[in-house]
Structure 1
Amino acid sequence: MTEDQTPVQHRIVVVGGGFGGLETVYNLRGVEVAITVVDQRNHHLFQPLLYQVATSTLATSEIAWPIRHLLRRYKNVLTLLGTVEAVDTAAKTVITADGDVIPYDTLVLATGARHAYFGHDDWEPFAPGLKTLEDATTIRRRILTAFEMAEREPDPQKRAQYLTFVIIGGGPTGVEIAGTIADLARDTLKGDFREIDPASARVVLIEGGSRVLGAFKEDMSAYAKMALEKLGVTVHLGNPVTACHADGVEFAGQTLRARTIIWAAGVQASPAAKWLGVPADRAGRVVINPDLTVPGHPEIFVIGDTATVANGGKGTVPGIAPAAKQQGKHIAKTIKARLAGDNAPKPFLYHHAGDLATIGKRAAVTDFGWFKLKGYLAWWLWGLAHIYYLIGVRNRLAVALSWLWISVSGVRSARLITQRDAAEEDKSA
């Protein structure tokens, strides 16, 4: 290289502004690289609290932040709003739906996942899942609209359908949604209606497995079921749903009539495996090497819900936020080592901090292996853990005050019906 030539910076493209993608960028601050972040939305979303937007507890702005704002001090980062449609591994470029061709030396795919209907995508209009802010506001709208329609419905049977809420899937999201809807009906909406008693609403949680919170220890799972039933939630175990339609759901040979159905039963990875032309598991996740790279492509990393990687002898790394953040740090460390001339593969080691889930506004379960807690104290610990990971002092204070106010008064201030969709119009006709 002659003296008048400027060395070309290493080009890193990060697709996805979630926990893993942003953690990768954060840990490359000050490194002489050129980073391009591409996301189909302009905001980073704190997904663990998304269900609280769906159930009128929090506002959208309290759990989402503009990606540009979060990266505004990173002068080596270019942020682009766009949807990736393909990856040319031979040319080392990323292609967007708008026709942009973005070259890379290192590619990080952290594109997350969507809900999966196990081959029944036709169920989605009747049973929306919960992965985006749009999903959350749709579910919130349907929940609140159901009470409004029940208030004006003179037919007792149709009114009962409006006041029946079905949640499919007994993992943390399903348990948290069921408990919060029960609180909403029996506490928050008390006294707001004249023709109906919101407390008469029926909340039903359907889990195809033998217990709720299947990833937790059995005693924690049993406590969660008991806490849900104490809130008035009906829990059905061992019988998966066989059909979803405008009038309700079918399972165990019966039809449960309901106007509001929420899907929390499974996830499907983004099409990253198809972009790369590499093997994927049943959920569409890219099967990657222990160092988080794609087989045959050491320059491509795949993390988070988009990837499946062995966790030593303990199964696979879970698709949760702490895991994605750890993976982002690992990738940044690997990139730094490579820039320094060390190209030896470095296996990723996941450190599981624990499992947490809340049931309503005053109970939760926490399992850190060496330390377990359930009940009201566990709820406080769950709340502190989530507040700690929120971005910005303002948001931490806003969420803490919202939770404290709800715990004391039962009032949720985010009960807004902003728009009705075609599916709701059809069901109310």
Structure 2
Amino acid sequence: MTGKRRRVVIVGAGFGGLAAAKALKATPVDVVVVDRTNHHLFQPLLYQVATAALSATDIAVAARTLLRRQANTAMIMGEVTGVDHKRRCVILSDGSEICYDWLILATGAAYSFFGHPEWSREACVLKSLDDALDIRRRLLCAFEAAERAGPARTVAPTFVVVGGGPTGVEMAGALAEMTRQTLRREFRHTNPESARVILYEAGPRVLSAFPENLSAYAAQALAELGVEVRTGSAVEDIGEGRVRVGGETLETAVILWCAGVAARPAAEWLNVEAARNGAVVVGPDFAVAGHEGVYAIGDVCHYAVGDRPLPALAPVAKQQGRWVGRQIAAVAAGRRSSKTAFRYQDWGTMAVIGRSRAVAVLGGRHLRGVTAWLAWSLVHLMLLVDFRSRLTVYINWTWAWFTRGRGARLITGIRRRSG
């Protein structure tokens, strides 16, 4: 690529990828951001789209819109399927290639079914807008089917959430609030309040990454919302409309899989060392060993502080992307890269359980209840990438708090035969 302007290719338009691109805004290089979709998605609030609290446009913004003021940055919608390191090119699913001088992998993670890929045919996951809208459709259609059955049907649907981490706890709490508050007066022949929401966790407690007192509070708050919390319960099998746990088979309308995360296959593309979850093991500067100019950040990298990797959180990915972008910018501008090691500024760990219920660890302090819920709300509003999203989410949350309503209860994605 001698004589040409040097190029930085960023794979992934998530928190880390966008942060890296913005750090390169004033750098004399061409930046190419490649993503499978055309939008940046605020994944921490996906569960609110799935449970009809927010609309898809509240938490997603076209990536081109976010990058339009960066004259040196282009956006390409495509799926990367490999990396040819010898030729310094990424390979797309259509066979085309994009060559690079520097490569930043920010591909994120996907759900793992612990060696049972067949379970994915029946269990819903929550990683994309399509996933969230599909879950919303399935949840609402379950109540419509119960209503259509007429007065003879006395039992509302059963919903199963697998995984007691933050996503599972947030999903179970939001689903319980939707069934017991939002929908309770909207049906004539079925009672949404009688719907069962069951949360299965293989470990001894939910939110195992939190202190035990906050974990206990979360379990109690879920129980108060009507969620049946079953810890020490590993899933044995998943089939059509059923799940088997502890030898017991339970019929269910929707199975929501929120357990087990695996990094996307960047380590396989590069043929490098991977952590247990498939994440690329990187050095202190996020460089991939044996691959000059290649970096991995966010959920796809294993970056250890002491003997523990940094968590898969939005603030982590943003700070890593910004740091790597600045290092590349310094080298591209003819300066030495910073000798200051990356330091993660911990924003805390949080999980919301429902209306005015949350847990948080901030600066060593353990918060719960309304205080934690307010902190969670503020942090998530600030993490949204544009003012429009912050405003619409704030308005929707305020309206929902006072009315207990959800304004996105539309069933879409059902194809009907014309004529």
Query: What interval of TM-score do these two structures reach, taking the shorter chain for normalisation?
Result: over 0.9
Contact 1:24 1:328 in 2 (8 A): yes
Which residue of 1 is the match for residue 226 of structure 2?
232
Matched, 1:182 2:176: yes
Which residue of 1 is the match for residue 323 of structure 2?
330
Matched, 1:142 2:135: no
Counterpart-to-counterpart distance in 2, 1:191 and 1:130: 28
Deviation by residue 1:233-252 (Cα, 9 ceiling, x = unmatched): 00000121111111321111
Partner AA of 1:269 in structure 2: A
Which residue of 2 is the match for residue 427 of structure 1?
none
Shift of 1:9: 2.4
Shift of 1:298: 3.2
Which residue of 1 is the match for residue 191 of structure 2?
197
Which residue of 2 is the match for residue 22 of structure 1?
18
Identify if the C-alpha distance between structure 1 residues 188 and 284 changes in structure 2 by more than 3 Å, giving closer, same or farther: same
Which residue of 1 is the match for residue 247 of structure 2?
253
Farther-moved stretch of structure 1 (340-349 vs 34-43): 340-349
Shift of 1:329: 1.2
TM-score w.r.t. length of structure 1? 0.93
> Pick from 311, 315, 319: which aligns with 2:308?
315
Partner AA of 2:34 in structure 1: V
Shift of 1:404: 1.1
Deviation by residue 1:323-355 (Cα, 9 ceiling, x = unmatched): 000100110121133233426876433232211
What's the secondary structure of 1:95's corresponding residue? Answer: strand
Q: Which runs of 5+ in 2 are unaligned?
A: none
What's the secondary structure of 2:293's corresponding residue? Answer: strand
Matched, 1:280 2:274: yes
Give runs of aligned pairs for residues 304-383 of structure 1, distance below 5 A: 304-311=298-305, 313-339=306-332, 340-342=334-336, 347-383=341-377
Which residue of 2 is the match for residue 403 of structure 1?
397
Identify if the C-alpha distance between structure 1 residues 362 and 298 changes in structure 2 by more than 3 Å, giving closer, same or farther: same
Counterpart-to-counterpart distance in 2, 1:346 and 1:96: 35
Shift of 1:159: 6.4
Shift of 1:178: 0.4
> Pick from 140, 147, 154: which aligns with 1:151?
147
Shift of 1:282: 2.6
Contact 2:221 2:357 in 1 (8 A): yes
Give runs of aligned pairs for residues 30-179 of structure 1, distance below 5 A: 30-153=26-149, 160=155, 163-179=157-173
Partner AA of 1:68 in structure 2: R
Counterpart-to-counterpart distance in 2, 1:260 and 1:207: 17
Contact 1:291 1:346 in 2 (8 A): no
Deviation by residue 1:75-99 (Cα, 9 ceiling, x = unmatched): 0011111111111100101111122
Which residue of 1 is the match for residue 409 of structure 2?
415
What's the secondary structure of 2:292's corresponding residue? Answer: strand
Contact 1:334 1:346 in 2 (8 A): no
TM-score w.r.t. length of structure 2? 0.95
> Pick from 246, 271, 274: which aligns with 2:265?
271
Counterpart-to-counterpart distance in 1, 2:31 and 2:300: 20
Farther-moved stretch of structure 1 (387-396 vs 354-363): 387-396
Matched, 1:219 2:218: no
Counterpart-to-counterpart distance in 1, 2:149 and 2:265: 43
Counterpart-to-counterpart distance in 2, 1:179 and 1:153: 27
Which residue of 1 is the match for residue 237 of structure 2?
243
Deviation by residue 1:52-75 (Cα, 9 ceiling, x = unmatched): 000000000000000111100100
What's the secondary structure of 1:383's corresponding residue? Answer: helix
Counterpart-to-counterpart distance in 2, 1:229 and 1:195: 26
Counterpart-to-counterpart distance in 2, 1:240 and 1:346: 44
Matched, 1:388 2:354: no
Shift of 1:377: 2.4
Counterpart-to-counterpart distance in 2, 1:379 and 1:344: 38
Q: Number of residues paired by the alignment? A: 414
Identify if the C-alpha distance between structure 1 residues 346 and 93 changes in structure 2 by more than 3 Å, giving closer, same or farther: farther
Partner AA of 1:104 in structure 2: Y
Contact 1:248 1:257 in 2 (8 A): yes
Which residue of 1 is the match for residue 202 of structure 2?
208
RMSD of aligned residue pairs (Cα, Å): 1.8
Deviation by residue 1:31-71 (Cα, 9 ceiling, x = unmatched): 11111111110000001101100000000000000011110
Deviation by residue 1:187-241 (Cα, 9 ceiling, x = unmatched): 1012100001110111100000111111111111000000000001000001211
Which residue of 2 is the match for residue 425 of structure 1?
none
Partner AA of 1:177 in structure 2: M
Counterpart-to-counterpart distance in 2, 1:73 and 1:159: 57
Partner AA of 1:193 in structure 2: F
Identify if the C-alpha distance between structure 1 residues 420 and 123 changes in structure 2 by more than 3 Å, giving closer, same or farther: farther
What's the secondary structure of 1:359's corresponding residue? Answer: strand
What's the secondary structure of 1:298's corresponding residue? Answer: coil
What's the secondary structure of 1:111's corresponding residue? Answer: coil
